[in-house]
Amino acid sequence: MTLKEPLRDSPVAGTLSTFIVPGLMLFLLFVILPVLFAAYVSFFRWNGLGGVPTEFVGLENFQALLKDEVFLGDLWRLGLIVVLSLLVQLPLSFGLAMLLHQRFPGRTAFRLLFFVPYVLTEAVTAVLFRLVFSPRRGFADSLLGSLGIDAQIGWLSDRNIIMFVVFGILTWKFFGFHMILFLAGRQNIPDELYEAAAIDGATRGQAFRNITLPLMGPTARMIVFLSVIGAVQLFDLVYVLTGGGPFHASETLAITMYEQGFQRNQIGYASALSIAMFLISLVFALLYQRYVLNRDLQGSITASGGTRS
Amino acid sequence: MTLTMRNARILRHTGFYIAAFLTTAFVATPILFALLGGFKDNQQLRENALGLPAPWNTANYTDVLASGTFWQQLFSSVFIALVTTFIVVICSAMIAFAFARFAFRGREGLFTLFAAGMMFPFAVAVLPLFIILRTFELLNSPFGVILPQAAFGLPLTIIILRTFFRQIPAEVEEAATIDGAGPWLFFTRILLPMSRPVLATVSVLALVGSWNSFLLPLVVLQKSTWWTLPLGVTQFSGQFASDTAKVLAFVMLAMLPALVFYAFAERHLISGLTAGGTKG
């Protein structure tokens, strides 16, 4: 029991519960209960019909997961997306943020424009790109055709390139968001630091290496965190774009869960998968907080003041 | 000396503009493809994929706008988003108020419980949610989408609001108490009006989250009566797979509300979404 404030702040229990109960009910019923239920069902073989699950199978669902090539493939593709994001998307959005931090006419317009894809609904974006990459009247093919390249590229049907197409679309959708976060981080670096460096005779390059890069660290680490958590949960865009195909070549954890649960009625197995998703995010979040974000939270200059309490 | 500096600046600016225009082309091409493609017919799409529509053909857009389905789905999306936002903001504000201004037994534990809710990916809960909603006969009802969405929106909203409510000086509350205001009166008459900016931020977050949500409506709304726009667009594109131009028009019209909202509430939208990002 922690009572830091004096007791006069303590209201009668009735008043207090009117403030808390509605939201708490909602939260328990639609967040906590489902998550506990998923954890429980993951130990059963169950088709979701006819009352409560009865066929207890212990860890069998989890053991099956570790042998499931689709699940292992999902993990591999998750890793691929994360690595590509770190190598391509992050530097791209960082570079653009540095660019738009400079004063030149029209930069506000560019900033607004680059954020537009992030505002659009993922599912709608996916429909749009399905048409861009459609084998019939697709814009991508026409564009290449006008350049004299009449290649029959199966953008969405070639399993060797599908993940790169998906990644390209993810970049289109999310670089603007990351750029805005970087831009906010850059604007939080006090100008005095650069003035002091200039007085000490530092070149622009030296100032960039020794001031900008280290002080953008917290923002970059936060963006990496958001990207990984987002990649674990990726569903809408890929499901609408390809349905996980061709032959699972673009499937994600959430799509496999959806297929197993809602299309094959393997509720127990799908629940085990969803618990695995949860554990992946949780373990990543804990390790990341412990080893990577930890020092940011203690540092004096942090991303955006969002680290109170 | 000054001349070379000016040259260097011009050179640098040229570099900026090249990079900026390349990115602009990258961003704008797909959207222009939808916008202009909607004004073409399918033959033009095949033979004149890159050029402007000739002639401009408005039938795709007018067909979609006259069809009723679009308006019905727009209404569903707006209704579900507004009710979700209302519920999540009211419930969160009350809880955040209790967390920020009252001392009571179990407060920290309860707060940790809500904060832990941020760790649950929505996909983890969607299967059991489906079963729970089926039990309550909320399938095919807008509230089957609204209530879980609102519940999952609570943690982030509570955290942001609690931080803000804590910053309001205790003197304000003391003055209200001396004037005879109880907690309710203080909450509704003083605290909420004082918190308008942060309420706008969290409302934008909830609104956008609901507007974009796909997995939950996909699972809950099996009948088309309450389909939201994201569901409607995917279904429409499957149904009219052979009529690319019309699907492009539908896609463009479905993107339009978000674009208009962005154009008018750009500052709130960006600050809301980045707050959601960095506080997560």
Q: Is the CB of B91 less than 8 angstroms away from the CB of A26? A: yes
The predicted structure's pLDDT at residue A303 = 43
Give yes or no for a contact between B225 and B107, defined as CB atoms under 8 angstroms apart. Answer: no
The predicted structure's pLDDT at residue A296 = 62
Cα–Cα distance, A24 to A9 (Å, whole number): 21
Q: Residues of chain A with pLDDT > 90: what percent? A: 50
Cα–Cα distance, A309 to A54 (Å, whole number): 45
Query: Over 70: is that where the pLDDT of A65 sits?
Result: yes
B51 in A contact zone (CB under 8 Å): no
Least CA distance to A185: which residue of chain B? B278
The predicted structure's pLDDT at residue A126 = 95
A96 in B contact zone (CB under 8 Å): yes
Query: Over 50: is that where the pLDDT of A8 sits?
Result: no
Residue numbers of A between 59 and 88 with CB closer than 8 Å to B: none
The predicted structure's pLDDT at residue A224 = 92
Domain boundaries, chain B: 2-60, 68-239
Structure tokens at A160: 């060797």
Please report the ipTM that was assigned to this predicted complex: 0.89
The pairs formed by B112-117 with CB atoms below 8 angstroms and a separation of 24 or more are B113/A27, B113/A32, B114/A27, B114/B154, B114/B155, B114/B158, B114/B159, B115/B155, B115/B159, B116/B155, B117/A27, B117/A31, B117/A32, B117/B152, B117/B154, B117/B155
The predicted structure's pLDDT at residue B3 = 67
Alpha carbon of B57: minimum distance to chain A alpha carbons (Å): 17
Query: Over 60: is that where the pLDDT of A73 sits?
Result: yes
Q: What is the pTM of this model?
A: 0.88
The predicted structure's pLDDT at residue A295 = 66
Q: What confidence tier does A237 reach under pLDDT thresholds 50, 70, 90?
A: very high
Q: Is the CB of A172 less than 8 angstroms away from the CB of B26? A: yes
What is the DSSP code string of B91-150?
HHHHHHHHHHH---TTHHHHHHHHHHGGGS-HHHHHHHHHHHHHHTT-TTSHHHHHHHHH
Task: List all residues 6 or more positions away from B76 whose beta carbon is below 8 Å from its beta carbon.
Answer: B142, B226, B227, B228, B229
| Neighbour count for residue B263 (Cβ, 10 Å) | 12
What is the DSSP code string of B141-198?
SHHHHHHHHHHHHHHHHHHHHHHHHHHS-HHHHHHHHHTT--HHHIIIIIIHHHTHHH
- Most A CBs within 10 Å, among B10, B23, B29, to test the A interface: B23
Q: What is the mean pLDDT of residues A214-234?
A: 91
Q: What confidence tier does A293 reach under pLDDT thresholds 50, 70, 90?
A: confident
Cα–Cα distance, B22 to B24 (Å, whole number): 5
**Cis check: omega of the bond before B155, within 30 degrees of 0:** no
Place of tokens 């803000």: B164
Q: What confidence tier does A309 reach under pLDDT thresholds 50, 70, 90?
A: very low
Domain boundaries, chain A: 81-298
Query: Over 50: is that where the pLDDT of A191 sits?
Result: yes
Cα–Cα distance, A92 to A108 (Å, whole number): 18
The pairs formed by A285-293 with CB atoms below 8 angstroms and a separation of 24 or more are A285/A225, A285/A229, A285/B119, A288/A225, A288/A228, A292/A221, A292/A224, A292/A225, A293/A221, A293/A222, A293/A225
Query: Over 70: is that where the pLDDT of A9 sits?
Result: no
Q: Which helix (H) or strand (E) holds B37?
A: helix B2-37
Amino acid residing at A225: F
Top-level class of domain B68-239:
mainly alpha
Each residue's pLDDT, cut to its tens digit, for chain B (280 residues) gives: 566 777 877 887 888 889 899 999 999 999 998 898 889 888 888 777 778 888 888 888 988 899 889 999 999 999 999 999 999 999 999 999 999 888 888 888 999 999 888 878 888 889 989 988 988 899 999 999 999 999 999 999 999 999 899 888 888 888 888 888 888 888 988 899 999 989 998 998 899 999 999 999 999 998 888 999 999 999 998 888 888 889 999 999 999 999 999 988 888 888 877 776 665 4
A37-48 pLDDT, tens digit per residue, is 999 989 988 887
What residues pair up with B240 in beta bridges, in sequence order?
none
Cα–Cα distance, B87 to B154 (Å, whole number): 9
The predicted structure's pLDDT at residue A24 = 94
The predicted structure's pLDDT at residue B50 = 79
Say whether domain A81-298 belongs to CATH 1.10.3720.10: yes
Across A24-28, A97-101, B238-242, least confident range: B238-242
The predicted structure's pLDDT at residue A273 = 93
Place of tokens 């865009």: A237
Chain B residues in contact with A99 by the CB 8 A cut-off are: 16, 19-20
The predicted structure's pLDDT at residue A53 = 80
A177 in B contact zone (CB under 8 Å): yes
Query: Over 90: is that where the pLDDT of A54 sits?
Result: no
